[in-house]
Structure formats: structure tokens, C-alpha cells
Amino acid sequence: MAKRVVGRVETVDLPSIPWWGVECRIDTGAYRSSMHCEDIHVDHTGEVPILVVTFQGEDSHTEHRFEEFRETLVKSSNGISENRFLVTLPVHLFGTDFSTEFTLTDRTEMKYPVLLGRTFLRHGFVVDVRRTNQSLKSQR
């Protein structure tokens, strides 16, 4: 299978949230992918715990509930470790959905709301940092 080339920034769709045309940073230094969200909490009122997350797109706030989630320890580039919730979502790129694990965090201070790390790139991608939006350009 030929590898697809992605640039340092790509525009992706996250159909299950739904977020469309989201700019994301491709980061080969990050092990996992990460996504911006707000108001992250676990609802323990039912029989099983439910992770409740508010995703903030450009035009809306969408609450999403996850029955399947876990926590993981993430070490940032500045050396600080924190526990984050981890969920699996499809990422639509090059006309295909790729199942990807995302850690959830507040990325308000970051330029891009989504970061795609090495676990995503294992789906058969290589990065050319001189390029951007290779998926969009391939659809023209």
C-alpha cells in the first residue's frame, strides 16, 4: 500500500461530533492525537459511568457522551504530566475514515484545535513539512 503524504497542517472532518473542515496540526513528536474540548466530566448517575464532553466548533457547542473511554497519563513537551480522558473517534481524510484515539484537553491557547500524532500517522501517512492540506488538494 502506497503511503499518503500529509502536510504540517491538514483540514479534516470529525463526523461523529460533528465537526467539519477542522484545521489540525500534524505532530510527529506527539505519540497520541489530541483534541480541544471544554467541560469534561464523568456522569456517575447511571449504571455505568458516562464521559460528558462539550466540543466547541466555530459555529456551535456540541455535547457528546461516551460510554467507552479511559484515562491515560500524558507528558507534554515541557515535561509536565497530566491525566487525560482518551476516546476513539473517526477522522475523515483523503475520502476515508480512520479510527483514532484522542486525548481530550482544553486547547484554547493553541493555534489548532486538533493535533494528529504518531498513532494516527501509522495508518499509512508520511509528513512533508513543506506542504499543507494535501487531502483537500487531492479532492480537486
pLDDT category at 86 given cuts 50, 70, 90 is: very high
pLDDT category at 27 given cuts 50, 70, 90 is: very high
Domain boundary assignment for the chain: 4-34+69-138
Where on the phi/psi map is residue 133: left (φ > 0), alpha (ψ -120 to 50), or beta? Answer: left
pLDDT beyond 80 at 66: yes
pLDDT beyond 90 at 127: yes
Weakest-pLDDT range from 4-8, 25-29, 101-105, 106-110? 106-110
Region 113-126: what's the mean pLDDT? 95
Domain covering 4-34+69-138 assigned CATH 2.40.70.10 in the classification: yes
pLDDT of residue 25: 97
Quick: pLDDT tens for 8-20: 999 999 998 888 8
Weakest-pLDDT range from 10-14, 51-55, 68-72, 120-124? 51-55
